[in-house]
Structure 1
């Protein structure tokens, strides 16, 4: 509790009375206890940030391959130094003509997101909206951040069908 000490001694000097000097002492222990109780209460009742993860749905491994037309597919090659190459293909091992392979970046206005939106618009005009399949082929020199950035672009553009695939030797040689 708060305690107040007073000095009640008076000294008479020269016939006059001197004013009393009171000393006050406030005990701060209950205030500190209350502070720690509040800190403990808020620490225990606060919800911490939940970790956000991307759900990855794996297909059943029944040995059969799904047919995919080249007009509905977009193959994206992730190279070193955040370089991206893309071309229209259904993932077959045949190399397209070199003029059919294009490069882009992760830029917001003119990067891989605009390529995806353009391809989606073409499919929607053909009466096949939502059928875009993106085949992602990272090289050994690409980094994890590039793959996550590409997955973010796919999520932003509502692409629900994508697959990570092994890169072929001629595709890996494209970035040499």
Structure 2
């Protein structure tokens, strides 16, 4: 049965509005999400670090017989970094037979010497083996001096270098020079 409504002869003055389903317009949300995606992609690209590859040696002491590092002594070059000077010698161990050279940071003599040594080793051994530099900053040297030496390694394109602790004998040599 159908239910009839009795209006008692009265007609309504206003027409009843038809109820619409609520609808959410997502056009603006799509625009905002697209802008956010672009912003985060751009900011993640710009926030990449421009740091230099920096590998520290293992803290373990590697011992293979009498040689502590098992490297060819003719390829090793040790750089002692002081306050405003650099002292260099060939090999790993400081002996009286090693010839030491002293440079100032303003000179480009360290770069010239490393280029010549690296070129000599590449000609002698081939392109696979080059100069191995051990950098030993002293306690008096500042961070900028170490960064300058590391920049020189990148300029010369030294294939292998490491930053290690300085020994007391080398500290004394650095103070004397």
TM range (shorter): 0.5 to 0.7
Q: Equivalent residue for 1:84?
A: 86
**Residue of structure 2 in register with 1:142 after alignment:** 141
How far the C-alpha of 1:147 sits from its partner, in A, is 0.7
- Which residue pairs with 1:72 in the alignment? 75
- Residues 142 and 123 from structure 1, CA distance in 2 versus in 1: closer, same or farther, beyond 3 angstroms? same
Q: How many residues align?
A: 130
Determine helix, strand or coil for the equivalent of 1:71: coil
Q: Give the superposition deviation at 1:60.
A: 6.3
Q: CA deviation at 1:69?
A: 1.8
Bigger relative contact order, structure 1 or 2 (CA pairs below 8 A, ≥6 apart): 2
3-state secondary structure, aligned to 1:152:
helix
Q: Tell me, in whole angstroms, the C-alpha distance in 2 between the residues paired with 1:123 and 1:50.
A: 35
TM-score by length of 1: 0.62
RMSD: 2.8
* C-alpha spacing 1:60/1:157, structure 2 compared with 1 (3 Å): same
Separation in 2 of the partners of 1:70 and 1:164? 17
Q: Which runs of structure 2 are paired with 1:98-109 in the superposition (5 Å)?
A: 100-107=99-106
> Which structure 2 residue ranges, 5 or more long, are not aligned?
1-34, 64-68
For residues 135-159 of structure 1, the C-alpha deviation after alignment (integer angstroms, 9 at most, x for no partner) is: 1111111111111111111111111
Give the equivalent residue in structure 2 for 1:96: 96
Q: State the 4+ residue runs in structure 1 displaced beyond 3 angstroms.
A: 44-51, 57-66
Q: Aligned-pair distance for 1:63? A: 5.8
Shift of 1:54: 1.7
Whether 1:175 and 2:174 are equivalent positions in the alignment is yes
The normalised TM-score by structure 2 is 0.61
